[in-house]
Each structure stands twice: as C-alpha cells, then as structure tokens.
Homo-oligomer: A and B are copies of this chain.
Amino acid sequence: MSHKSDIEIAREAKKRPIQEIAEKLDMTFDDIIPYGHDKAKVSQDFINSVQDRKDGKLILVTAINPTPAGEGKTTTTVGLGDGLNAIGKKAAICIREASLGPNFGMKGGAAGGGYAQVVPMEDMNLHFTGDFHAITSAHNLLSAMIDNHIYWGNELAIDERRVSWRRVVDLNDRALRDVVTSLGGVANGFPRQTGFDITVASEVMAILCLSKDLADLQERLGDIIVAYTRERKAITCRDIGADGAMTVLLKDAMQPNLVQTLENNPAFVHGGPFANIAHGCNSLIATKTALKLADYVVTEAGFGADLGAEKFMNIKCRKGGLAPSVVVCVATIRAMKMNGGVAKADLGAENVDAVKAGCPNLGRHIENLKSFGVPVVVAINHFVTDTDAEVQAVKDYVEGHGSEAILCKHWANGSAGTKDLATRVAEIADADMGSFGPLYNDEMPLFEKIETVAKRIYRADEVLADKKIRDQLKAWEEAGYGDLPVCMAKTQYSFSTDPNLRGAPTGHSVPIREVRLSAGAGFVVVICGEIMTMPGLPSKPAALTIGLDEAGDVQGLF
C-alpha cells in the first residue's frame, strides 16, 4: 500500500523513450512525430497506411453518477489497460487531454491515480503537444475573419446582432465572458457585444474530436453556423472562407498523441471536449487509430453513464461507426454509501445497509447500458476502508441484476490489481456477445430523441419545453438538421436535473432551458440547467503558488 501522492509516484516513473512505446504497437520512429523524448504524435501518413487493418475490440469504461467520494474512472481505464497488457494482451488506452487554463485556478490533476497513471503528468497539465493552442488559434481566426468581413463591406449581409460565434481562450477569465469589441472609432470596426468561452467549450474542439480525417474535419468546420442575416439566413464558416485556413492550423493537432502508463504501456491522450455542451470523449481518430494498432482498446466517457456513456453510444459510436464489445461501469463502496445517504465525513465506517441502499444507482446504470445491447461488467475500485461485507453486498446486488462485479486494486498495485477484471473483460470481448445499437435512429424527430433519452436513460416522466424551443427544433428539422443526435447538457450528479437527487429517482421531469445547434460537430445541444462555458479564478488561485523550484521542477501545479 502506497502512501505517496500521485505526483510523487508520477515523478518516480521509469519512463521509456517514446519510440519504445510506439514499437509495442509496431510503429517505427518514422511513424511517429516526437515531441520531446516522452511524447509523440502518430503521423497522418502512418494512420493512412493502416486503414485496411482489422479493428481490435473496444472497451468502454464509464461510471455511476459522480459523488464527492470519487469513482476513479480514468484510474480504472489506465488500470484495465495495464491489466490487459499484464495478462499478455496487446492493449492500448484512449483518454482525454486536460485543459491548461483551469490548472491555474484549482490545482491540476493526474491522468489516473496511484499506480494507475499516465505520464508525463506535468506536460499533460501544461502545453502538452499544443493541440489546444491550435484549436484556440483556429477558433479565433474565424472570429477575426467574421469581424473583418463585416468591416470590409459585409457582402454576406451578416446581422451584427446575430453573430453567434464568440472567441475562446484557454484560461479561466471571467472578465472576458461578456465584452464589447470594436470600440475606438471607424478603423476598428462596428462595436458589438460578444464574449469569450474557454477553449474546451469551442465547437472546433468537438469537431476535431468527431472528425474521421482532415477532409472530414474541413467539411465539418465549413458547416459551423457563425451568424445569421436579418432574414435569419444562416451564415457558415464556409461562407466566411475560413475552413481551409482553420484546417491548416489544425493539421498537426488532428494527429493523436501517444504517451505511456506508469507500466510503459501505450496511452493515446487526444482531444478534450466539454461533457455537457459537447460529447465529452477523446478524439474519434485516436480511438480508431488505436483499434488498428491494438487488439484491445480501453477508453472512457465523461461524467456518469447517464451522460457520458449515453453520448459515447449515441454520438461518438454513431458518427464513427464504432461498437463497444463490453462496457465496464466503475463504482466504489464509498460512492455507494453516499448514494445511500451517508455524509462524506462518515464514509470511513462500515455500513453495509447504506451500501445496499445506494446500489440502485448502479443497478439503473447497468440496465441502461444493457439497453444498448452490450455486456456490462462492474469494476469495484477498491479503497483502503472498504470492508469485505460491503464489497460482497455490491457483488450480490450486481449478480442479482444479471451482471458481475469484480474487485480491482490498481490504485495500490497497478496491473496486479486488475488481472481478474482484465481476464474477464477479454473473455467477454472475445466472445462477441454484444449486439450494439444506439438508443434511437437518425430519422426520429429531435424532440422525440430528447424524450427517448429522458425517459429511457433518466427515467423521467416527461420533458418540459416551451413553444419557442419546440418551434426551434422544428425549424432545424426543416433546415435539414433533423437527422442529428441530441447532446444533453444536464447535471452529472443525478439521473434527474436536480444535482441533489441521488440514487435512482423516478417521477421527475426534465425542463429544457435552451437548445443550440452545433452544425459542424453535428449535434443539437439540449441545455437543462446552468451551463458555464467560461470559469472564473478563485480568490486564491493555484497560480499564486505555482513556480519552479531550485532544481527546475514545477511546484504547486498539483
């Protein structure tokens, strides 16, 4: 049992040169583009050259609704990947990139935890391979070209009041949420009110993560709706003429990043869209590339299964032609207890009844996941205070729901703690037991898609939406966007839209506050609560204590 912090463990990692990690996936040094000695991108030429290969098995890691106790979804993704390698399988993991900006507010974090981490941790919390900077540049080039178009005569007749495309910055900067630009006279353009979001909220991020290749990327960028005319005609990025230049800015960023786990196994870390106004998964191109190179690919989805797995299935798999062979749902004894009504301070004491009382949250996720036609395994991410009786209670409950729960100790023991899980997951994947299908077909009307998710996944009685919202959805259907999936933005803490409603609530309703069209990414965002797309810094931001120590090591970032 380790008493070291994640950062201490990460810094003691015996990293191997990145070309050795690439070799594990049969890539040569020429097939990768090194970024330092411990990071690389997989070259587009190499990706093109492997398109005819057979795909490996895709394994999705998701979780119960998050609680303050923590679930360890990324930790389990890493641990399962290492476990598969440890039992002799050729496996890779695919996870998301972290955003730089928020690390200067709250402390940044590891990718994973304990002895199941991806390194180099520092780089992944800072500039990494520059992907997010490229997205920021591409997004803001479009912004500048919109204002420039208006400045030079506005041939497209853009209504300056209806420019929906904002600007982005990869920082927490509340002062930029709401701004007036182009002040200062004739030479600076036409003043208008707009604002900045954080880079991960950019539609460009969602597009990069859903594009199959550079041609698809440019097509999707071109489809972005940036503004409307007075007659409500949509103006796209293609109308502005920015799609080609944006693609050039993003061509390097489109190539998946390769790093390694603490056990020197390959990890793709690429893309990081918001999990509320976007789909919250790592890039499609990373997942698809990994499937060409490894026999088993373990990936994860954001938040709990009601949001993350639902979007993984209905958005990412639909658009990418992916089909998971097995889903691992992560749960912890502590989170079960919190779902069972125990306060965080009391989580250390054995409480089998509370565990049992909390299990219905897990049970519903299992049912939901099975409804996609995929086998489900529960991973109990072990914590030191868990008792045998508590673990057994979860196992029994899960067995009663036609699934199985496996105890995992990767946080403390790395791959030695996930061999059971890895063995079982590989067996299920190899047996091809699933018959994956998304929850709804493309042809279903948009409002019915929302109802389908709300009723079948959230188990709500009804969806509440005023006429304006229903009319907007109909207008988009008439404009040709009716075949898009819906991207739900609601609280991750509950099946319902009330973050305090833990467990497995029923009888609730889902009120829709707003709908937005992400025409480039290819989904309709359905907002059911407060969505913050530009965080602020706290009164004592982490930045105040971040610095280099005398050895040149970064302090205060973690």
Across-interface contacts of A251 in B (CB, < 8 A): 548, 552, 554
Provide the bound-state CA to CA distance between A134 and B537, in Å: 19
Provide the bound-state CA to CA distance between A164 and B554, in Å: 29
- The answer to whether A148 touches B187, judged by C-beta atoms less than 8 angstroms apart, is no
Provide the bound-state CA to CA distance between A193 and B180, in Å: 9
Q: Which residue of B lies closest to A145 (CB)?
A: B543
Provide the bound-state CA to CA distance between A544 and B187, in Å: 22
Q: Please, what's the 1-or-0 string for A448-490, where 1 marks a CB less than 8 Å from any CB in chain B?
A: 0000000000000000000000000000000000000000000
- The answer to whether B33 touches A37, judged by C-beta atoms less than 8 angstroms apart, is yes
Contacts A34-B35, A183-B179 known; A554 to B248 CB distance under 8 Å? yes
Of A59-67, A165-173, A356-364, A432-440, which binds chain B? Answer: A165-173
Contacts A133-B127, A134-B127, A172-B144 known; A547 to B247 CB distance under 8 Å? yes
Provide the bound-state CA to CA distance between A144 and B37, in Å: 33
CB contact between A244 and one of B36, B169, B171, B547 (< 8 Å): that residue: B547
Provide the bound-state CA to CA distance between A242 and B252, in Å: 31
Chain A residues 152-191 with CB under 8 Å of chain B are 152-153, 169-184, 187-189
Chain B nearest CB from A392 CB (Å) reads 47
Contacts A248-B126, A248-B546, A248-B554 known; A137 to B170 CB distance under 8 Å? yes
- The answer to whether A143 touches B173, judged by C-beta atoms less than 8 angstroms apart, is yes
- The answer to whether A180 touches B182, judged by C-beta atoms less than 8 angstroms apart, is no
- The answer to whether A242 touches B543, judged by C-beta atoms less than 8 angstroms apart, is yes
- The answer to whether A175 touches B193, judged by C-beta atoms less than 8 angstroms apart, is no
Provide the bound-state CA to CA distance between A135 and B172, in Å: 16
A393: Cβ under 8 A from any B Cβ: no
Report which A residues bind B (CB closer than 8 A).
Answer: 30, 33-37, 44, 100, 104, 126-127, 130, 133-134, 136-137, 140-141, 143-145, 147-148, 151-153, 169-184, 187-189, 193, 195, 214, 218, 241-245, 247-249, 251-252, 536-537, 539, 541-548, 552, 554, 556-557
